[in-house]
Amino acid sequence: MEASGKRYIWHPHAGDTMRVWHMSDWHWMAKGCAEADLRRDLQEIADDPNSFWLGGGDYCDFIGYHDGKRFDPDVVAEWVSVADLGRLGRLGFEQILGLARPVRHKCLGMLLGNHELKYAIATEQQDIHGQLCADLDVPNLAFSAFFDLVFCQTPSVKSPVLMREPPQSGRPPARPTVRVFAHHRAGYAQTPGGKLNKLIQFMQSFDADLYFVGHVHDRVARREPALVANADCTKICERQRLGMISGSYLKTYTQGSTSYGEQRGYRPTALGAAVARITPATGHIEAVI
């Protein structure tokens, strides 16, 4: 687990609203990967000055021929050659680098997913995720992490920009901060209640304002208010906390192919990212799913 420090988002206007995309479970190199949807969302992040993102893990399917229980050549993307299967890790991370590089300056960090972890252990390459983060120059969030989003209004920028330090302008003003907890997640819950219960457990066990989890290929949001007292302990206040499960870019059902999800009768995947819309001036956070 990582305590991953602060991310400073400099922005010019008091009324600015930011979008934070949780881009989880890409499953690149699988035949069922919704490649066009993933490219569209990454392009939208690139084009929108108010959008930032974090990677939620499982960027590649990473199920090679050495994995006798799970490997099925019928569900590998058609553009992956037989020779490519002999260098699956290198190919996968080259592909992810190519997809993520145009928006790396907007990246809040990248989590490690179970697909990368299992592949790295099996092939004795356990720093492969760390190398990906180093090549992109983005924070390595490991399997779970806390980090703070600090919003700094300053006239020195024309549009929002992600920085590693706050603006240096004399006495620093009060700056709205959102604490984020992110976890790739584990488990195999398929029912809506099972998925939601795990999200609530995270929200009960880790103190944050905004929670991002993935892995179960669904898009769900949950508010869990907490009662607190003001600074003088003279008034009861409500603190809003928002938890979000991100969808996936792996389709459960694909024409002409039978995935493991189809074999098990899983529900169709909720494709795409979960997005949090944050208004720093008011502290309001809302889910876009």
- pTM, two decimals, is 0.92
The pLDDT of residue 288 is 93
User: What span, in angstroms and rounded, lies between the C-alpha atoms of 133 and 3?
Assistant: 16
Torsions phi, psi of 151, nearest 5?
A: -100, 120
User: What's residue 19's pLDDT?
Assistant: 98
Burial (Cβ within 10 Å: 0-12, 13-18, ≥19) of residue 216: buried
**Is 49:12 a contact under the CB 8 Å cutoff?**
no
Which H or E element spans position 201? Answer: helix 192-205
| 184 neighbors 58 (Cβ within 8 angstroms) | yes
pLDDT tens column, 147-179: 999 999 999 999 999 999 998 865 556 689 999
Highest mean pLDDT among 72-86, 112-126, 132-146, 245-259: 132-146
- d(CA 243, CA 224) in angstroms, rounded, equals 8
Written as six digits, the tokens of 218 are 């669904």
219-230 pLDDT, tens per residue? 999 999 889 999
Chain segment 100-116, per-residue pLDDT in tens: 999 999 999 999 999 89
CB 185 within 8 A of CB 197: no
Instruction: Determine what percent of the chain is predicted with pLDDT higher than 90.
Output: 66
The neighbouring-strand residues paired with 11 are 153
Q: Which domains does the chain have, with CATH numbers?
A: 2-288 (3.60.21)
The whole-number pLDDT of residue 267 equals 85
Residue 125's pLDDT is 81
The yes-or-no verdict on residue 34 having pLDDT over 60 is: yes
Range scoring the smallest mean pLDDT among 65-69, 164-168, 266-270 = 65-69
